[in-house]
Chains A and B, each alone.
Chain A
Amino acid sequence: MIPPALRATNLTRSFGQTRALDEVYFEIPKGEVVSLVGPSGCGKSTLLRTLLWLDPPDEGFVEVGGQYLGRERIGAVVRNQTRRQIDRIRPRIGMVYQSLNLWPHLTARENVERPQRVVASKSAAQARATADGLFERLQIGGLAGRRPSELSGGQKQRVAIARALAMEPEIMLFDEPTSALDPELVGEVLALLRDFAATGMTMMVVTHELAFARDVASRLMFMDRGRIVADGPPARVISDRSNPRVAEFFDRVTAFHPAFRAEPIPKETTP
């Protein structure tokens, strides 16, 4: 059996009285494109940080391609991994941050090559070949020698994507990939993500672009107050009225974008 690309088990994280994550369970099989939607402050960002073990949860487990990250369970024994173990597994999750977090003192090429050299111990030639291939694929081939400050927002984002892809991750996480972009670039990035989806890349995308969640993603997870309250095919989650929070959220969206639900959405019976 192929292990899922990403599995979260019972992730729970409290900040004082508030529960940022409340018993979050999910499994993302290879090749699935999941969009994570929810009102702001619902715990989406905390979830992403927790999945990377940047913000270790109070309880629960993260597994990447069948390997535990951060905390492992062998039989009945639960123990925290060493820093080295965590460092070894982390690159298997590719993360594209909302603020990109490119390293401004390095060129685009170095941003992509340095982690490969240091973390994956690739040779200079291998790292360069990977970087060049990705830049070509992402259509920023001529910009490799520039620094992030000399690139446009869309170009920077492609460098950030290349940096994550260069580590050959099991799954790519995108934190609101369109929020920092000019409106005209949004379509471009969504098209890029659509291409990735077509090549079978496993992705989890935190997004406010509901059209993307509806049309490109194969699955929609809706988060509210630290819980995943709805999870399923996008069309069903959007049209489902059984959960008042989800229905309210999409009603409000529909109020501003009347066309959003107008298209025929195949009705399915809720299980």
Chain B
Amino acid sequence: MALDLSVITDNIPLFLEGAWMTLRIAAAAFVAGMAIGTLAAVASLSGIAPLRWLVAGYIAIMRGIPFIVLLFLIHYGLPAAGIRNPALVNGIAALSLFAGAYYTEIIRACVRALPKGQWESARAIGMSPFAAARIVIVPQILAPMVPPVVNCTMTMIKESSVISSITVAELTFSGLVVQGNTFAPFEVFIAVALLYWLICGLFATAARAFESRLAGTRRNRGLTPLVGRYLILEGRRT
């Protein structure tokens, strides 16, 4: 059986449209997920027991159910409770909640890994919790956060294909549409796979660049004053 590449070339606009939608969904879920993750990590580290339990429950649920079930709960379950949103919004919400749980764990672990004295010395000298976080904690957790966040985000990008099942016109969905028109699944899904691989590759490359920028400040200190503050602890990452 020969591959009919015209199936791909004829439908390039459709594929690109889908890829663009996937990219936007992933970006929105990344931003929203990070916001959720930061808030939940702070709540969990706050020492207020009910908040800690709430976050623990959230993480346990997100990690314990399949993403597609979460998606169906939001997309088909919420309307039953009178909350109606477009499929795209529901898809992004589900993906954000899903990724947010993992981001929470990452942020929490990175903060926990710092010596307790870092936080205490900042607080004892009179810094507010916010100032201590901004000046002492955040600059020290950025670099160790990068590798696990990249892992988790790539999983999230790939998981976004599930959103096609609630009729959001993202990359997998456009693949399904083209396949329905052409009856050439092999060609179509090769194209879809390549595009996913491209998106993930782009993201990984960008993350690597960001990471080496963080790490590079130690070698060329003074060149990037803004990032200079965000350098890595000696020997923390090897």
| Chain A contacts to B: CB under 8 angstroms | 52, 54, 83-84, 87-88, 90-91, 93, 95, 97, 99, 101-106, 114-115, 118-120, 149, 163-164, 167
Given contacts A83-B128, A119-B127, A149-B234, contact A101 B115 (CB under 8 A): yes
Q: Are B233 and A91 in contact (CB under 8 A)?
A: no
Pick 24 A–B contacts, CB within 8 A, sort by A. Answer: A52-B124, A83-B128, A84-B128, A87-B126, A90-B123, A95-B124, A95-B125, A101-B120, A101-B121, A102-B121, A103-B122, A103-B135, A103-B136, A103-B140, A105-B233, A114-B135, A115-B126, A118-B131, A119-B125, A119-B126, A119-B127, A149-B233, A164-B125, A167-B126
Residues in A whose Cβ lies below 8 Å from that of B98: none
CB neighbors of A among B122-150 (8 A) = 122-129, 131, 135-136, 139-140
Residues in B whose Cβ lies below 8 Å from that of A105: 139-140, 229-233
Question: B117: CB under 8 A from chain A?
Answer: yes
Residues in A whose Cβ lies below 8 Å from that of B140: 103-105
Question: B118: CB under 8 A from chain A?
Answer: yes
- Among candidates A99, A104, A167, residue contacting B234 with C-beta atoms closer than 8 Å: A104
B 98-129 to A, binary, CB cutoff 8 A, 1 in contact else 0: 00000000000000000101101111111111
Residues in B whose Cβ lies below 8 Å from that of A54: 120, 123-124
- Among candidates A91, A102, A106, residue contacting B229 with C-beta atoms closer than 8 Å: A106
* Of listed B118, B121, B123, residue having the most chain A CB within 10 A: B121
Known A90-B126, A103-B135, A149-B234; further 12 A-B contacts with Cβ < 8 A: A87-B123, A87-B126, A87-B127, A88-B126, A93-B124, A103-B121, A103-B136, A104-B140, A105-B229, A105-B231, A115-B127, A167-B126
Given contacts A106-B229, A119-B126, A167-B126, contact A101 B131 (CB under 8 A): no
| Chain B contacts to A: CB under 8 angstroms | 115, 117-118, 120-129, 131, 135-136, 139-140, 229-234
Query: Which residue from chain B places its CB closest to the CB of A104 in the assembled complex?
Result: B233
Given contacts A97-B117, A101-B115, A106-B229, contact A118 B234 (CB under 8 A): no
- Among candidates A91, A101, A118, A120, residue contacting B118 with C-beta atoms closer than 8 Å: A101
**How many angstroms from the CA of A101 to the CA of B10 in the assembled complex?**
63
B221 shortest CB reach to chain A, Å: 9
Residues in A whose Cβ lies below 8 Å from that of B120: 54, 101
Q: Are A115 and B125 in contact (CB under 8 A)?
A: yes
Interface SS majority for chain B: helix
A240 shortest CB reach to chain B, Å: 34
Residues in A whose Cβ lies below 8 Å from that of B131: 118-119
* Of listed A87, A88, A91, A99, residue having the most chain B CB within 10 A: A87
Query: Which residue from chain B places its CB closest to the CB of A173 in the assembled complex?
Result: B124
**How many angstroms from the CA of A105 to the CA of B122 in the assembled complex?**
13
**How many angstroms from the CA of A91 to the CA of B123 in the assembled complex?**
9
Given contacts A101-B115, A105-B139, A105-B140, contact A91 B121 (CB under 8 A): no
Given contacts A101-B117, A105-B140, A105-B231, contact A91 B135 (CB under 8 A): no
Query: Which residue from chain A places its CB closest to the CB of B232 in the assembled complex?
Result: A105
**How many angstroms from the CA of A171 to the CA of B139 in the assembled complex?**
30
* Of listed B115, B135, B230, B231, residue having the most chain A CB within 10 A: B135
**How many angstroms from the CA of A195 to the CA of B139 in the assembled complex?**
36
Q: Are B125 and A167 in contact (CB under 8 A)?
A: yes
Residues in B whose Cβ lies below 8 Å from that of A90: 123-126
Residues in B whose Cβ lies below 8 Å from that of A164: 125
Residues in A whose Cβ lies below 8 Å from that of B231: 105
- Among candidates B115, B124, B135, residue contacting A118 with C-beta atoms closer than 8 Å: B135
Query: Which residue from chain B places its CB closest to the CB of A88 in the assembled complex?
Result: B126
Residues in B whose Cβ lies below 8 Å from that of A52: 124
**How many angstroms from the CA of A102 to the CA of B139 in the assembled complex?**
14
Query: Which residue from chain B places its CB closest to the CB of A94 in the assembled complex?
Result: B125
**How many angstroms from the CA of A120 to the CA of B126 in the assembled complex?**
9
Residues in A whose Cβ lies below 8 Å from that of B125: 90-91, 95, 115, 119, 163-164, 167
Given contacts A54-B123, A114-B135, A149-B234, contact A103 B118 (CB under 8 A): yes
A147 shortest CB reach to chain B, Å: 8
**How many angstroms from the CA of A114 to the CA of B125 in the assembled complex?**
11
**How many angstroms from the CA of A251 to the CA of B234 in the assembled complex?**
44
**How many angstroms from the CA of A54 to the CA of B140 in the assembled complex?**
22
B32 shortest CB reach to chain A, Å: 28
* Of listed A83, A88, A105, A120, residue having the most chain B CB within 10 A: A105
B152 shortest CB reach to chain A, Å: 24
